[in-house]
Chains A and B, each alone.
Chain A
Amino acid sequence: MSADGTVTAGNLADLFNDLSQSIDDFRLNAPPGTTTDDLARLKDEAQALENRAHQFIAQDMAETLSRIQPELQKIVDATAKVQQQIGVLNDVSKAIGIATAGVALGAAIATGNIAAIGSTAQAFADSIA
């Protein structure tokens, strides 16, 4: 039973499982003279009750999952926010990387180092990409 006293699908699942098991216990300890047909019928009834228990388990799961949908949406939104924050940090990191590469290119040009200009220009282009 739930906190507010209402019967949940989970309670019904337990109830039907207990009923099914009681019938099986009776069937497997049936008094002498119980006919084969009666035993077969008891087995069918126990299985039908167990099927019902399965249905209530599925329903209980569905109800539990339905209750958390608003919270899941909040978590999805929060995840997007955290990913934006990581983006901010990456932007700062990238900005510094670009500036570093830019300065290296400037140094190569200023010193007239022709060989270095090509490679640093490429590095600068890569950092911006």
Chain B
Amino acid sequence: MTNTRVEVRRRIGISLLGAVTAVVVACNTPDAVAQFCSAAVATLGAGSSIFRDMKGSCLREVNSRSSLASFAVAKEDPDCAEIGKQANAAIAASQVVADYFAAVNALASFDSGKVGTSASDLVDKASGIAKVGTNTKNALEALSKFLATALTSGYQRRQLARDLPQTSQSAIVVLDALSAIVRDDYVEGLLTSEQQKLGDQYKEFVLTKQTIAPLSVEAQLALYDRWRSDQDTILARRTTAEKFVTALQSISKGLSSLAANADRITAKELIALLKPYASQLETLIPAIQKAL
């Protein structure tokens, strides 16, 4: 082999390695999608406890109708059971969207670089049988690695670019519906009613007892502390639910931006677009998870 040929092959090898590096760098696109989808899955999972508390809130309101300190056993209620049934359906709907994000996450997290390395190993072993020169072996390895990685990562990125925008509209509709249930039916409806009726329960207790004898200052303060503590619990549930709604809206906005820009967005722009939504979700998720 002449020196010129060796030099040409060396240059081809360097070029191919450069191409492989470019593909690896482009893998940031799937990473950004994976981070966003992973945060969406965690958010939707954390929301289950909020949906479950819809029946809980209803039952707490029903059970607050009995007199305070009556030691009445908590009872079931058919209307609360129906709310619980619908809440379970909302959890199921939420799971459908979470499954979708999990699948997209799995697609985005597929390690196409590993496939390239396997292809490179294949050539390495084949070279041993064919007894080819080192330069040829190196060039073949780099070429095979590039082709396998490019093939799989190209397919991966192409599918991601198609999948998310295509399904985003449906996902947005479902996320908005889940937000509406939490905001309107839970926060504005059930928790508001629970809070009002709980206050009524304390007022009724004080009124009833005062007809017999005036309540001592100590008893009034103890009642006030207990009422404050109950109010704080409801307030914490309300805050958690509002954070969950914010998180759902963040996923919805992220998908909306992605769909609006999918046909003209670059990898770098995609990362810049999804990053704030993923970061916001990662901040909100622990607060939602620990509260209920």
Contacts and interface: CB of A to CB of B under 8 A. Distances in A.
Interface of A: 10, 13-14, 17, 20-21, 24, 28, 43, 47, 50-51, 53-55, 57-58, 60-62, 64-65, 67-68, 71-72, 74-76, 78-79, 81-83, 85-86, 88-90, 92-93, 96-97, 99-100, 103-104, 106-107, 110
B268 interface: no
A124 to B, nearest CB: 12
Given A65-B90, A82-B159, A85-B156, 9 more contacts: A28-B200, A60-B185, A61-B86, A71-B171, A82-B104, A83-B106, A92-B148, A92-B152, A107-B125
A88 B155 contact: yes
Nearest to A43: B65
Contact of B170 (A55, A60, A78): A78
Interface string B185-202: 100111011001100100
Given A72-B174, A86-B107, A92 B61 contact: no
Contacts of A72: 93, 96, 170, 174
A79 to B, nearest CB: 4
B122 A100 contact: yes
B100 A17 contact: no
Interface of B: 54, 58, 61, 65, 77, 79-80, 82-83, 85-87, 89-90, 93, 96-97, 99-100, 103-104, 106-107, 110, 112, 114-115, 118-119, 121-122, 125-126, 128-129, 148, 151-152, 155-156, 159, 163, 166-167, 169-171, 173-174, 177, 180-181, 184-185, 188-190, 192-193, 196-197, 200, 203-204, 207
B196 A68 contact: no
A24 to B, nearest CB: 5
A54 B79 contact: yes
Contacts of B200: 24, 28
Contact of B185 (A13, A47, A67, A90): A13
Given A14-B189, A82-B163, A96 B79 contact: no
A86 B100 contact: no
B100 A78 contact: yes
A68 B193 contact: no
Nearest to B86: A61
Contact of A53 (B167, B173, B193, B204): B193
A93 B115 contact: yes
Given A72-B93, A93-B115, A99 B122 contact: yes
A13 B180 CA distance: 14
Contacts of B163: 78, 81-82, 85
A65 B93 contact: yes
B103 A83 contact: yes
Contact of B189 (A28, A57, A79, A92): A57
B41 to A, nearest CB: 12
Contacts of A81: 163
Contact of A110 (B54, B65, B104, B129): B129
Given A21-B196, A53-B189, A61-B185, A92 B151 contact: yes
A85 B107 contact: yes
A64 B183 CA distance: 12
A14 B83 CA distance: 15
A115 B122 CA distance: 21
Contacts of A82: 100, 103-104, 106-107, 159, 163
A20 B37 CA distance: 43
18 contacts: A28-B207, A50-B197, A51-B79, A53-B189, A55-B79, A60-B184, A64-B177, A72-B93, A72-B170, A72-B174, A75-B167, A78-B163, A78-B166, A82-B159, A85-B163, A86-B107, A89-B156, A103-B129
B93 A50 contact: no
Contact of B188 (A14, A74, A76, A110): A14
